[in-house]
Amino acid sequence: MTSRVREIIIRNLFAFLAFISVMLLGLIVLFLFREGLPLFKQISVNRFLFGSAWYPTYNPPEYGIWPLIVGSVIVTAFSCLIAVPFGLLSAVYISEIAPAWIKEILKSIIELLAGLPSVVLGFFGMVILAPWMQETFDLPTGLNIVNASLMLAVMAIPTISSISEDALYAVPREYKEASYALGATKYETIVKVAIPAALSGISTAVILGMSRAIGETMVVLMVAGGAAAIPRGIFDSVRPMPASIAAEMGEAPFQSGHYHALFATGIVLFIITLIFNLIADHISNRFKEEGSGTL
């Protein structure tokens, strides 16, 4: 076999494999829409998205997912509030401040955290954190927004931290050296030079962390409490969209309204994560010219 023939074969094989994975993704999306869209023959998109009652198994059924959307958005927002400072500051520490040996240890610990199965986190939240939280603060329930957000934050921190760290690492050495040469302190250099130069990478990290949190299922199924109502406070239970899909899909009769409604909820979730990823993509492209400190 000549090397040219081999080259052609390998190139085509790679193209074929790439095509297959894209096609699989396309088929999944197609399936999702095919199973979800028939719902809108029964009710309007408006009543589905903004209806406040989710009673899919009653007669007549009600398929309003507004409380589920609110639940998802709230736990995601809160988990970001917790995960962004921790993720970003640990990235700054690891890439700018820590001595080499601490850096190695911390990096591997954070990688370990990323590999923690979500069911383990959920179990921890349910069996340890929830009773403790309920008892200590005398709350009506420990299965609430704060608990779910904390567990989701633990999942989002490794994502945010490792991508931010890569972004900080890619900030050109000359930038920092120039800053020191002008007499800036280490703190000033980090805050005014390194972080701004790596901002697009950091934003990407935050958005990817958020899209991880909003799609997470097991944790919210186990610790968010599962009340399909608009919460009145941060210690109320909520039922985020993935929890609803996971808890109910098993019993939803095939091709019924309930079944289509769960797939339609999946479409909403898909669109939200798609938007997140497009924003992340846009940010990392848009600010590329600011230096090599981008991903």
Partner 1 sequence: MNHYLKPLILMISLLLVGAGAAFAENIVIKGSTTVLPIAQVTLEAYMKANQGANISLSGGGSGEGIKALIDGSTDIANSSREIKKTELELAKSKNVEPKENVVAIDAIVPIVSPRNKVRDLTVDQLSQIYQGKITNWKEVGGENLEIVVISRDSSSGTFEAWGELVLKGAKVSPRAQLQASSGAIVQAVSKNRYALGYIGLGYIDKSVKALTVNGVQASDKTALSKEFPVSRFLYMYTNGEPKGETANYIKFVLSPAGQALVKKEGFVPLPRKK
Q: Which residues of the chain form contacts with partner 1 (CB under 8 A)?
A: 53-58, 67, 126-127, 130-131, 134-135, 140-143, 221-222, 225-229, 236-237, 239, 247-248, 250-254
Nearer CB in complex with partner 1: 82/230: 230
CB of 241 to partner 1, least distance (A): 14
CB of 121 to partner 1, least distance (A): 16
**What tokens does 17 get?**
């494999």
**What tokens does 216 get?**
């997470």
Nearer CB in complex with partner 1: 19/132: 132
CB of 199 to partner 1, least distance (A): 41
Nearer CB in complex with partner 1: 117/140: 140
CB of 51 to partner 1, least distance (A): 12
Nearer CB in complex with partner 1: 110/220: 220
Nearer CB in complex with partner 1: 263/276: 263
CB of 50 to partner 1, least distance (A): 15
